[in-house]
Structures are given as structure tokens and as C-alpha cells.
Amino acid sequence: MAKQTGKKIIIGNWKMNPASPKAAEKLFAEVAKSASGIKKTEIVICPPFIYLERLKKLSKKINLGAQNVFGREVGPFTGEVSADMIYNIGARYVILGHSERRTLGESDSDVNKKIKAALSAGLLPILCVGEETRDEDHQYFNVVKEQIRACLYGVPKNLISKIIVAYEPVWAISTTLGRKDATSTDCREMAVFIRKVLSDIASLDIAKDVHIIYGGSVNERDAEEFLKDGGAEGLLVGRASLDAKKFSEIVKICEALNS
């Protein structure tokens, strides 16, 4: 959606935060307030499921996304939430395949089912891919390629352009023990590679329409570097999205680059 309008996209992944609806509303309202003049950047907040409906009422400008959905439409699946439910309360995006969910046992095949369910409900999937470590033989490119191929298996080609691919090297995510900073060069190389993989799966034209974004400890100090030199068409922000000031700063940096 954002790609068609030429907008870059900044997505906040709140993960399992904050602890109360009141705190969620406060954080969201602060982000919404400072977004009032933003025109060329798509802003998406992905809070826990339970806050989506109340946050939807607070702002028309900020898009909402979920952090997961179940891969089946309806039925006896205790504790699960379907893509239709998410769509019907007004959210339009969903993060899928996040490394923290993969650690809990989610496989590429699970992610594949979820992508198909999300697309058929009208949600735009934010597909997270990324290697756990980097090796000297550059096998990490294959890791990412296999994730993309398996997660997109059987997805109709005409729907692939609706997917946002978030490159999130696990070794750069803020909660990874002994984490390291990724550079804009790491990001740029992988963005080019991901585009090629998508082009081989679908076509060059379709691949060009896919938003490729970066995530992994992005903050207000390095956001510009990833957007400008890293070839990222947006950012998936975790920890810094829990600080309205920092997140809004990142949005403003993106907006200034788009202008």
C-alpha cells in the first residue's frame, strides 16, 4: 500500500508491552500527536492484540497492525485469533515470522499458512526474515533465501507485492544476548539480495513493488543511515517504539528524507 503511494513506512513493534491499557493509550496518543504534520511516511503501530480496538478509536492517521494471527479462518482453535478478526476491528497489517515467535517454535510452514490467511482476510503481512549469525562463507544469504521461499510457497504471485519483507538479523535485535550493530552496508547487500530472491519467485516488476525494510535495534541515531545508505524502504522498530519521543524522532527523520 505504502509502496504504491511512494511512502516509506515506519512500524513500531511494541512486543508484549506495555502492561496496562492506560499506558498503551498514553504512548499511542503521544505518537499520534507528534505525527500530525507527517504526510509522506506511513506510520504503523503493532501493539498486543488486546489493545488494538481501543487504539483504533484514538487516531485515523496511524495504522494498526497485529503481531501474529492464526493460520486458519475459523474453528475449534482455543486461544487463537484469526486474520478476519484483526481486519474486522480495523487493523490492516500483521507482523509474521518474527524471530521471537520462531524461537517459540514457529516454523516457516506455520508462517506460510499465516501469510495466506492474512492475505485472504485483506491484511498486509510484514514478513520477518533474518539469520541468527553470520558466517564467513556467507551461508546466511541462503538462510534468508530459504526462509523467503518457504514462507511464500504457493502464495499467488499477484499478492506478493502486498507483502512487506522486514530484514531483521537476529544478532542485531536489541534483546539478543551479546548483540552487535548491523551496518548500512549489511542492510543494503541483503536488501538487494532479497529483491533478487523475490524476483526469481514472482517477477522483477512484482519484486520492485515489495517494500523491503530493516529492523534490529534501530534508534533515532542510526535510522537515517539505514534509510539513506542501507537501501531500507522503512524500519521495524522494537525497543525505541516504546519511547514516544524516540519513535517520533525516527518518523521525522524518515519524513525529512522523503521530502
Interacting residues with ligand PGA (CB under 6 A): 13, 168, 173-174, 215-218, 236-239
Handedness of CA 245, 32, 225, 202 (dihedral sign): positive
CB of 4 to ligand PGA, least distance (A): 24
Q: Which of 98, 211, 220, 255 is catalytic?
A: 98
Exactly one of 168, 220, 233, 255 is catalytic; name it.
168
Q: Which is nearer to ligand PGA, 52 or 218 (CB)?
A: 218
Identity of the residue, 27 or 202, whose beta carbon is nearer to ligand PGA in the bound complex: 27
Minimum Å gap between C-beta 219 and ligand PGA is 8
98 is catalytic: yes
| Closer of 202 and 247 to ligand PGA (Cβ) | 247
Tell how strand 93-96 and strand 124-129 pair up: parallel
What minimum distance in Å lies between the beta carbon of 13 and ligand PGA? 4
Please give the backbone phi and psi of residue 11, each rounded to the nearest 5 degrees, phi first: -115, 130
Q: Which is nearer to ligand PGA, 128 or 210 (CB)?
A: 128
User: What one-letter code names the amino acid at 71?
Assistant: G
- Measured at CB, which residue is nearest to ligand PGA? 238
Integer Cα distance of 74 and 198 in angstroms: 30
From residue 27, how far is each of 15, 71, 108 by CA, in Å? 14, 30, 33
Q: Which residue lies nearer to ligand PGA by CB, 101 or 196?
A: 101
Q: What are the residue ranges of helices labelled H in 67-219? A: 83-88, 99-103, 108-121, 139-151, 157-160, 184-201, 204-209
Minimum distance of ligand PGA from residue 176's CB (angstroms): 8
Pairing mode, strands 234-237 and 8-13: parallel
CB of 77 to ligand PGA, least distance (A): 25
Residue 34: in which H helix or E strand, if any? Answer: helix 21-34
Catalytic residue IDs: 98, 168
